[in-house]
Structure 1
Amino acid sequence: MNAYDNSQRFLFDDTDIRGEMVCLRDSYAHVLAKHSYPEPVAELLGEMLAAAALLVGTLKFEGLLVLQARSSGAIPLLMVECSSNRELRGIARYHAEQIGSGGSLAELMPDGALAVTVDPAQGQRYQGIVALDGVNLSACLSSYFATSEQLPTRFWLHADGRTARGLLLQQLPPDRLKEPEERAASWQHMTVLADSLTAEEQMGLDNETLLHRLYHQEVVRLFEPQPLVFRCSCSRERSAGAMVSLGEEDALKLIEEQGGEVVIDCQFCNERYRFDAADVTQLFHGGGSRRPSDTRH
Structure 2
Amino acid sequence: MSDFTQRFIFDDTDVRGELVTLGDSYQHVLAKHPYPEPVAQLLGELLAAAALLVGTLKFDGLLVLQARSSGAVPLLMVECSSERQVRGIARYHAEQIADGAGLAELMPEGMLTVTIDPRAGQRYQGIVALDGINLSACLTNYFANSEQLPTRFWLYADGRRARGLLLQALPPDRLKDAEARAANWQHLTTLADTLTAEELLGLDNLTVLHRLYHEEAVRLFDPLGLEFRCSCNRQRSANALVSLGQQDAERLLEEHGGSVEIDCQFCNQRYRFDKTDVAQLFAGGGSSAPSSTRH
What band does the TM-score fall into relative to the shorter chain? Answer: over 0.9
Letter in 2 for 1:9: R
How much does 1:286 deviate? 4.7
1:21 touches 1:168 (CA, 8 Å); kept in 2? yes
Instruction: Find 1:105's aligned residue among 103, 106, 131.
Output: 103
1:274 touches 1:295 (CA, 8 Å); kept in 2? no
Match of 1:138, SS state, is helix
Residue 217 (structure 1) aligns with: 215
In 2, Cα distance between the equivalents of 1:41 and 1:249? Answer: 40
Residue 159 (structure 1) aligns with: 157
Residue 250 (structure 2) aligns with: 252
How much does 1:285 deviate? 3.5
Residue 21 (structure 1) aligns with: 19
How much does 1:241 deviate? 1.6
In 2, Cα distance between the equivalents of 1:286 and 1:183? Answer: 61
Aligned residues: 294
Residue 289 (structure 1) aligns with: 287
How much does 1:253 deviate? 3.1
How much does 1:125 deviate? 1.1
Residue 28 (structure 2) aligns with: 30
Instruction: Find 2:267's aligned residue among 255, 266, 269.
Output: 269
Residue 120 (structure 2) aligns with: 122
Match of 1:51, SS state, is helix
How much does 1:209 deviate? 1.1
In 2, Cα distance between the equivalents of 1:283 and 1:128? Answer: 37
In 2, Cα distance between the equivalents of 1:105 and 1:174? Answer: 35
Which residues in structure 2 correspond to 1:18-167 (within 5 Å)?
Answer: 18-167=16-165
1:156 touches 1:168 (CA, 8 Å); kept in 2? yes
In 2, Cα distance between the equivalents of 1:10 and 1:111? Answer: 35
In 2, Cα distance between the equivalents of 1:143 and 1:290? Answer: 45
How much does 1:249 deviate? 4.1
Letter in 2 for 1:22: V
In 2, Cα distance between the equivalents of 1:245 and 1:114? Answer: 28
Residue 179 (structure 1) aligns with: 177
Match of 1:91, SS state, is strand
Residue 238 (structure 2) aligns with: 240
In 2, Cα distance between the equivalents of 1:243 and 1:198? Answer: 48
How much does 1:220 deviate? 1.1
In 1, Cα distance between the equivalents of 2:77 and 2:252? Answer: 29
How much does 1:252 deviate? 2.5
Match of 1:116, SS state, is strand
Match of 1:151, SS state, is coil
Q: Does 1:192 align with 2:218?
A: no
In 1, Cα distance between the equivalents of 2:211 and 2:70? Answer: 40
1:53 touches 1:86 (CA, 8 Å); kept in 2? yes
Identity score, percent: 75
Letter in 2 for 1:132: L
Residue 205 (structure 2) aligns with: 207
Letter in 1 for 2:228: F
Match of 1:176, SS state, is coil
In 1, Cα distance between the equivalents of 2:247 and 2:105? Answer: 48
CA deviation profile, 1:11-67 (whole Å, cap 9, x unmatched)? 111110000100001000000000000000000000000000000000000111111
Match of 2:266, SS state, is coil
CA deviation profile, 1:206-248 (whole Å, cap 9, x unmatched)? 0111111111111111111111111111001111122223344
How large is the RMSD of aligned CA atoms in angstroms? 1.3
CA deviation profile, 1:232-290 (whole Å, cap 9, x unmatched)? 11001111122223344442232123220111111111111111111112223454312
In 2, Cα distance between the equivalents of 1:19 and 1:213? Answer: 15
1:155 touches 1:168 (CA, 8 Å); kept in 2? yes
- Give the TM-score normalised by structure 1: 0.96
Q: Does 1:5 align with 2:3?
A: yes
Gaps of 5+ in 2: none
Residue 230 (structure 1) aligns with: 228
